[in-house]
Amino acid sequence: MTRRSGSCFRCCLVILAVISALCVSGPALYWKLKRGFNLKPGSSIHCTPCVCDCPPPLSLLKLAPGLVNLSVTDCGKDDPDLKEEMGKQFVDLLSEELKLQKAVGEEHIRHMNITFGEARRVASQYQKEAEKCNTATETCEQAREQAEALMRQEKKITSLWERRARELGWEGE
């Protein structure tokens, strides 16, 4: 029985392989057969020229006419602030950058100090609330212990009275 199923499985695989090959190469064979095989070495299939009414590609001059005339030397020649910046020496620019970084650092420190102070205030508030809770818990614990002591005392008194009542003839419930 297993031999027969193995043969059947092989046969199915062969059929599947043939069908797959036909699906892949079938369209190419169809077009070759339709046009005919061209076995002559010098001959080739000639296509008719394509007729295209596409507009010519846009040039940079048509897209942005003023862009071509710009040069780096003309950049910002009419801007007095830019002229002043470009006229500064490298050392001046570095010292100005350091001053800016110092100002940003000081602002960051100021913001951090404000945030730290706020965090301290909130932590102090939480600490006070925690102390209140601890005090209330201790008070409750003391009250519970006192209640337990009173209950033990009441049980002793109750058992004493019950014993006396039994001695005098009380039979209970």
Nearest to 60 by CA among 69, 47, 50: 69
pLDDT at 112: 96
Task: Give the separation between CA 17 and CA 13, rounded to whole angstroms.
Answer: 6
Neighbours of 45 (CB within 10 A): 7
Distances (CA, A) of 151 to 38, 81, 129, 138, 141: 116, 90, 33, 20, 15
> Residue 37: which pLDDT band, with cuts at 50, 70 and 90?
low
> Residue 147: which pLDDT band, with cuts at 50, 70 and 90?
very high
Tokens of 77: 């020649």
Task: Give the separation between CA 52 and CA 115, rounded to whole angstroms.
Answer: 70
Asked if residue 55 lies in contact with residue 65, where contact means CB atoms within 8 angstroms, the answer is no
> Residue 150: which pLDDT band, with cuts at 50, 70 and 90?
very high
- pTM > 0.75: yes or no: no
Q: Is the pLDDT score of 155 beyond 70?
A: yes
pLDDT (tens digit per residue) in 66-111: 655 555 555 666 777 777 777 777 788 888 899 999 999 999 999 9
> Residue 170: which pLDDT band, with cuts at 50, 70 and 90?
confident
More confident residue, 119 or 34: 119
Estimate to the nearest angstrom the gap between the alpha carbon of 93 and the chain centroid: 39
More confident residue, 61 or 146: 146
Q: Is the pLDDT score of 129 beyond 90?
A: yes
The domain limits of the chain are 97-173
pLDDT at 61: 66
pLDDT at 83: 72
Asked if residue 35 lies in contact with residue 45, where contact means CB atoms within 8 angstroms, the answer is yes
